[in-house]
Structure 1
Amino acid sequence: MKFLNILSSKEKGMAKQNVNTKLKRWRSVYYFIFILGALALLLSVAAMFKFLSFKSFLGTESLYSNLNPEVPNENQNKVMMVTVELVIQKIEEELNKLREAKQDPSSSQTVFQQGAFLADILGLLESAASSHQHSEGNNKQNGSFTIHHPLVSKKKQSDEPADYFLREEIRKYVRIKPNRLGKQNFMGANASFTSIGHTCFAMKEELEEYMDYDVGEICNDDWKLAQKLMVHGCDPLPRRRCFSRAPKLYSQPFPINESLWKLPDDRNVRWSQYRCKNFACLASNTTRKGFFKCADCFNLTNHEMPRWVSLEADSNYTADFLISEILGIKPEEIRIGLDYSVGTGTFAARMREFNVTIVSATINFGAPFNEMIALRGLVPLYLTINQRLPFFDNTLDLIHTTRFLDGWIDFVLLEFILYDWDRVLRPGGLLWIDSFFCLKEDLYDYLKAFKMLRYKKHKWVVVPKLDKDDQEMFFSAVLEKPPRPFR
């Protein structure tokens, strides 16, 4: 009997524990329903008094464009602000409870979805409240009660670009972060100022998709979305608080004496976003699945190895110069440099044999160029054409570019890039333009852009592109940056 009593008491305890667990889950659901009801009430009142416009949720027009300026009602606005503050307070309380529930391994996926949804709603309400408080005083001084979104207001721009976005992670990243001690740091700043590219505002939906993740979890496999943002001017991208995805089985790279001229292990690359699924496919190039300007650059043995050491290696490279020739212009002076091209790092590999360190700047156009460069034991720099070079003034001995800045580029953009190259080249440094091609009718204008640098000419060659019936031209040159007097 005692045994049965003990057993029954245990069963009762387990049943009670199960009931408590179910009650906790239902309680979180009830809280969620309450928040949704409060939000619905808020939106209903807003629609009734025409305080908020539906277009404000799209972030494209003023937040409160439907407010009637002829019949101002301050009491109405105060009631609305109090309601907003109450809803914000309730959502914050619910988020705190959800964060505690998130630590419980028995929590369901619904809890995570509720937290993400409430965080977005909280960000929207905080944005509306802060914009209203910030704009109300300025508008009252002018006798107008129309409140505008900070980014479209013609009278005064907001100091907070974060107000434009709804995703809370973007808002947290963009906001100014004051120093904890309230004093200036050793760099003379009293806060940290994180930035994003200006086109990020035009690509709001893509950026918010990129920043849609769970903090501390694995990031989505969205590097292609990130590169799309970068190429279109949303560069730099915001940092993220999630772990980047890695290959499922990463093998040890080859030793440096093998890696320079050997295809890497396929397991060291995430192939999900590429048409080719291994290096052999890219090297054979039978299906033309890589980037057309670098169609054969994964063929290390037959195509890449002879480059810059033999001019007869490929008839398409008729305007190339030999590395030995260029280094002979400045014996023992060329030590570090940048290769600004689309490729697999072959130029850096060849220069390494001459004891010159080259950083290869490129992005992944249809193939894992950055991974390939790194697996060869070289240094990749993931950089778009839109971004200022991350080097200090007068620091590089050499800048080399091939088959990247061609006749498609705008003349003004080319000038900005050339002046940036001039900035990082030291006096006496070399600019190696390797096989720049353009239409014959545009050749004069492009040559004029290079001549405006007023560099010393060591080599200068213009030849026709053989497969285009003299309609396209190749241009190659080696130019030396002159010393300029300090002023």
Structure 2
Amino acid sequence: MRKPNVLMKLGSFRGVHTSIFILGTFALLISIATLSKFYSIRSLLVADAFCNYNVDLKSEGRNGSQVIRGTVQIVMEKIRKEMSDLRDLPMDSSSPASLLRHSAFLADILGLLESVQEYLPLNEGIGYWHNSEIKAVHPLLKPKQQSDEPADYFLIEEIRKYVKVKPNRLGKQNFMGANGTFNSIGHTCFSMKKELEEYMDYDVGEICNDDWKLAQKLMVHGCDPLPRRRCFSRAPQLYSRPFYINESMWKLPDNRNVRWSQYRCKNFTCLASNATHKGFFKCADCFNLTDHEMPRWIKNVDIDPITNLTADFLIPEVLDIKPGEIRIGLDFSIGTGTFAARMREFNVTLVSAIINLGAPFNEMIALRGLVPLYITINQRVPFFDNTLDLIHTTRFLDGWIDFVLLDFILYDWDRVLRPGGLLWIDSFFCAKEDMNDYLEVFKMLKYKKHKWVVVPKRDKDDREVFFSAVLEKPPRPFRR
């Protein structure tokens, strides 16, 4: 009984090899036909062949690319069918390793054909042969057209190297299905060429310039994401170990652990005393951990004496909306991580997203033992769909923000919130005449309202109001 099985395996193994050999030969013939269609050996050796070359292509080239495109499409379909047949073969018809190798080979050929197909013109003869000035010019002698490659726009070599496509070293598709790595930069980087080239002008392998402020300027103005760099970031000269976690939450960090060269204040005591009076005006007391930060979200503060209302919700009452369900989330706010510190006491893990607006907010959050996420509002938040239990925001979404931008931000937050997740809008403030327009933007989410309050903001002569809400994302079961 063993011999027939061996013969069957040998037959199927030869059949696989034969099919691959036929398809490979077919692809090779197509490649040769494609080259011979556009280049002639005689045209390179005989001077008067230029005219014949143009006449032949003028009469035959109009349909040539369509024929080639159709043929390539046929080959691609045959390869796809062969790959499907290989997957459907029983595991005992040949060795699994051999089948996997042949399938990978076909996938590589398919990827190459698909990449070549993109460069074939859809309509040959339009725009090329109608230009009388270049009809008699051989393709090799035509003036080079302006490059569309992003790398050719910049002069600094490090930028050019970064944005160029990096092909896979083995010439095969990687596990993500790509034949190379494509590094990207923000589209505004092209309009900030001078600043970006200054940022990328460094010696490879050496210490980077102290230019984080330039980097943040690029990010805030839309050159985001920034390119990676091949230099070592600067660190404080006398870095000391952080405080232990049981004391770091509510204690100002060591001043030696921050580079202060780009700030008005040169230590945490200056920041806590609000000695600069500007530079981080939305969070003037954020570094005052003892008096200002510790009571927040635990005790009621700023109660309106007339309405007896406050825009501040307490963490325990919000967590009681979904007992035990709020575990991970994002705090997109202006602050030093106090909200994340308080939520940690309730066994909730939060990432704090913030940039350094006039003060070392990211360093402060990290030195407290929390996780800072250094991103701007220009970026899509780096979380997968339907993964977070909670998104909290305060002192960030205020009356300065454009309605369309607010739409994009809210839809992105909706994307990462799981069904049943909570969106906590904390003390959003704006002018009274604008409040209804902003409320309509929040209402368009069609979230369930657990808490919803509008309170006068007393420090602006009663011209502004606070809005706070806790909203629950619906499951949307009937939408595909």
TM normalised by structure 1 equals 0.68
Q: Does 1:193 align with 2:182?
A: yes
Task: Label 1:183 to 1:318 Cα distance change in 2 as closer, same or farther (>3 A).
Answer: same
Q: Does 1:366 align with 2:358?
A: yes
Q: Does 1:442 align with 2:463?
A: no
Q: 1:460 aligns with which of 428, 438, 452?
A: 452
Once the two structures are superposed, the pairs formed by residues 368-407 of structure 1 within 5 Å of their partners are 368-407=360-399
The AA in structure 1 aligned to 2:195 is E
Residue aligning to 2:298: 309
Q: 1:231 aligns with which of 220, 226, 229?
A: 220
Offset at 1:263? 0.1
Task: Label 1:315 to 1:377 Cα distance change in 2 as closer, same or farther (>3 A).
Answer: farther
Aligned identity (percent) is 82
Unaligned runs of 5+ in 2: 1-124, 135-142
Residue aligning to 2:195: 206
Task: Label 1:170 to 1:375 Cα distance change in 2 as closer, same or farther (>3 A).
Answer: same
Q: Report if aligned partners of 1:276, 1:290 keep a CA contact under 8 Å in 2.
A: no
Q: Tell me which stretches of 4 or more aligned residues in structure 1 moved more than 2 Å.
A: 137-150, 312-318
Residue aligning to 1:153: none
Larger C-alpha radius of gyration, 1 or 2? 2
1:98-125 CA-partner distances (Å, limit 9, x unpaired): xxxxxxxxxxxxxxxxxxxxxxxxxxxx
Q: 2:422 aligns with which of 430, 448, 452?
A: 430
Q: Does 1:174 align with 2:166?
A: no
Secondary structure, in 3 states, of the residue corresponding to 1:460? strand
Q: Does 1:265 align with 2:257?
A: no
2: CA distance, partners of 1:287 / 1:197? 33
2: CA distance, partners of 1:219 / 1:460? 48
Residue aligning to 1:79: none
Residue aligning to 1:288: 277
The AA in structure 1 aligned to 2:297 is W
1:165-207 CA-partner distances (Å, limit 9, x unpaired): 1111001000011101111011100000000000000000000
Once the two structures are superposed, the pairs formed by residues 47-66 of structure 1 within 5 Å of their partners are none
The AA in structure 2 aligned to 1:450 is F
The AA in structure 2 aligned to 1:267 is R
2: CA distance, partners of 1:404 / 1:209? 30
1: CA distance, partners of 2:158 / 2:179? 23
Offset at 1:464? 1.3
Offset at 1:468? 1.4
Secondary structure, in 3 states, of the residue corresponding to 1:450? helix
Once the two structures are superposed, the pairs formed by residues 301-340 of structure 1 within 5 Å of their partners are 301-312=290-301, 318-340=310-332
2: CA distance, partners of 1:241 / 1:349? 34
2: CA distance, partners of 1:138 / 1:169? 38
Once the two structures are superposed, the pairs formed by residues 27-106 of structure 1 within 5 Å of their partners are none
Unaligned runs of 5+ in 1: 1-136, 151-157
2: CA distance, partners of 1:138 / 1:194? 33
Q: Does 1:275 align with 2:264?
A: yes
The AA in structure 2 aligned to 1:357 is T
The AA in structure 2 aligned to 1:390 is P
The AA in structure 1 aligned to 2:403 is F
TM normalised by structure 2 equals 0.69
Offset at 1:249? 0.7
Secondary structure, in 3 states, of the residue corresponding to 2:301? helix
2: CA distance, partners of 1:205 / 1:421? 34
RMSD of aligned C-alpha atoms? 2.1
Q: Report if aligned partners of 1:276, 1:289 keep a CA contact under 8 Å in 2.
A: no
1:295-318 CA-partner distances (Å, limit 9, x unpaired): 000000000000001112687993
Aligned residues: 344
Q: Report if aligned partners of 2:393, 2:424 keep a CA contact under 8 Å in 1.
A: yes
Q: Does 1:216 align with 2:205?
A: yes
Offset at 1:140? 6.3
2: CA distance, partners of 1:285 / 1:138? 68
